[in-house]
Amino acid sequence: MKIGVIGAGLLGTACMQRLIGGGIEVLAYDVDAAKRAAAEKLGAASAGTITEVAKACSTLVLAVFNTDQVEEVIEGRGGIAEASSGGEPRVVICMSTCDPDRLAALAARAGRGVRLLEVPLSGTSRQVAEGAGVGLVGGDRAVMESVVPVLDAISPRRYYIGAVGNGSRAKLAVNLILGLNRGAMAEGLAFAARLGLDPVEFLEVAKGSAAYSQVMDVKGSMMARREYAKPQSRVDQSLKDFKLMIAQARAAGQTLPFAQVYADLLEDCMKNGEAESDNAAILEAIRRRAKS
């Protein structure tokens, strides 16, 4: 079995680690030559174009940044649809967090050459690499069943949620809860430090209290020590997701007041050069709101 992986950033790298660790051959592509070289160090072969990957692999994993890139990779010139035209259909497993309506429309118009399955993953890149990412599957059940070995390798724990689009809808709702948990922890740590408590020591107290949440294990140390340079999930990625949430909620006639506050804090991080920092850096946006 040879699986194509398009996108070799944090998520794509984690997916490759899972696949290679499961004895599956990987052919990787990224627009960044340095990321292709890093993929080779993991044990993957690298390709120079999307076309090369699509022609060599009947199953492809997409781990690109946003919906625009997903559409471009599938429908653009030299993309997957063009490469598979007239031949064996390609199963495309989209693991990026996308606009659910646009992804559903893409699946509908992709035609017989591309069978789209969405599997956005809940968890940081580190959690995915450790096999703890949770897959939220949307698409045809038969397509899902056809790639079970791939899904088992990347995301042993997963939920089938229905048609394409529903996986992304569930992922946005999960990320909303998760993000607000991060924000609450960041504000609590900033508050404790302002009151004179040692944030590293206070984190252990918080973990042992009724306020405990898994996010304390995943992001707590980064926040308490203010170390964001080795991201597991970046500020710009989180902001992209929160903008999607707010837009989806607006279209559905719902306001998300806490989500808007969180997005504003992420915007502050962006303005202060923290786009590629771990999203635990939201603590800094809160600290910057201190009165002089």
User: What pLDDT score was predicted for residue 112?
Assistant: 74
What is the mean predicted confidence (pLDDT) over 258-268? 98
The model's confidence at residue 88, banded by pLDDT at 50, 70 and 90, is: confident
Residue 292 has pLDDT above 60, yes or no: no
Q: Which of 140, 164, 188 delimits the end of a domain?
A: 164
> What is the domain extent for residue 180?
169-287
54 and 137 part of one domain: yes
Confidence of residue 45 (pLDDT cuts 50, 70, 90): very high
Q: Are both 79 and 135 inside the same structural domain?
A: yes
Is residue 83 domain-resident? yes
Domain presence at residue 292:
no
Q: What's the pLDDT at 68? A: 97
Residue 79 pLDDT > 70:
yes
pLDDT value at 73 more than 60: yes
Tell me, yes or no, whether 99 and 209 share the same domain.
Answer: no
- Reported as a pLDDT band with limits 50, 70 and 90, residue 86 is confident
Q: How confident is the model at residue 182 (pLDDT cuts 50, 70, 90)?
A: very high
Q: Is 82 exposed, middle or buried (0-12, 13-18, 19+ CB in 10 A)?
A: middle
> Percent of the chain, pLDDT > 70?
100
Residues 142, 19 within the same domain: yes
Is the domain of 195 the same as that of 103? no
Q: Are residues 80 and 133 in the same domain?
A: yes
Instruction: Report pLDDT for 290.
Output: 84
Which pLDDT score is estimated for 110? 86
pLDDT above 60 for 200: yes
Q: Is the residue at 186 inside a domain?
A: yes
Q: How much is the pLDDT for 29? A: 98
The total number of structural domains that make up the chain: 2
Six token digits for residue 37: 């070289």
- How would residue 265 be classed by pLDDT, with cut points 50, 70 and 90? very high
**Is residue 102 located within the same domain as residue 243?**
no
- 123 Cα distance to chain centroid: 8
- Reported confidence tier of residue 193, pLDDT bands at 50, 70, 90: very high
| Residue where a domain stops, chosen among 139, 164, 189 | 164
> Is 118 within the bounds of a domain?
yes
How many C-beta atoms surround the C-beta of residue 54 within 10 A? 29
64: domain CATH number? Answer: 3.40.50.720
What would the mean pLDDT of 245-269 be, rounded to a whole number? Answer: 98
- The CATH number that applies at residue 264 is 1.10.1040.10
Residues 26 and 122 in one domain: yes
State whether 66 and 203 are in the same domain. Answer: no
- Spatial contact of 67 and 102, defined as CB atoms under 8 Å apart: yes
Report CA dihedral (149, 151, 156, 162) to the nearest 10 degrees.
-130
Instruction: Give pLDDT, residue 125.
Output: 95
Q: What is the mean pLDDT of residues 190-212?
A: 98
129 and 21 within one domain: yes
DSSP character string of the chain: -EEEEE--SHHHHHHHHHHHHTT-EEEEE-SSHHHHHHHHHHT-EE-SSHHHHHHH-SEEEE--SSHHHHHHHHHSTTSHHHHHTTSSPEEEEE-S---HHHHHHHHHHS-TTEEEEE--EES-HHHHHTT--EEEEES-HHHHHHTHHHHHHH-SEEEEEESTTHHHHHHHHHHHHHHHHHHHHHHHHHHHHHTT--HHHHHHHHHTSTT--HHHHHHHHHHHHT--SS-SSBHHHHHHHHHHHHHHHHHTT---HHHHHHHHHHHHHHHTT-TTSBGGGHHHHHHTT---
Are 141 and 236 in a shared domain?
A: no
Asked which of 106, 140, 164 is the last residue of a domain, the reply is 164
pTM: 0.93
Averaged pLDDT of the chain: 96
pLDDT of 173 higher than 60: yes
Residues 195 and 177 in one domain: yes
Q: Please check whether residue 129 lies inside any domain of the structure.
A: yes
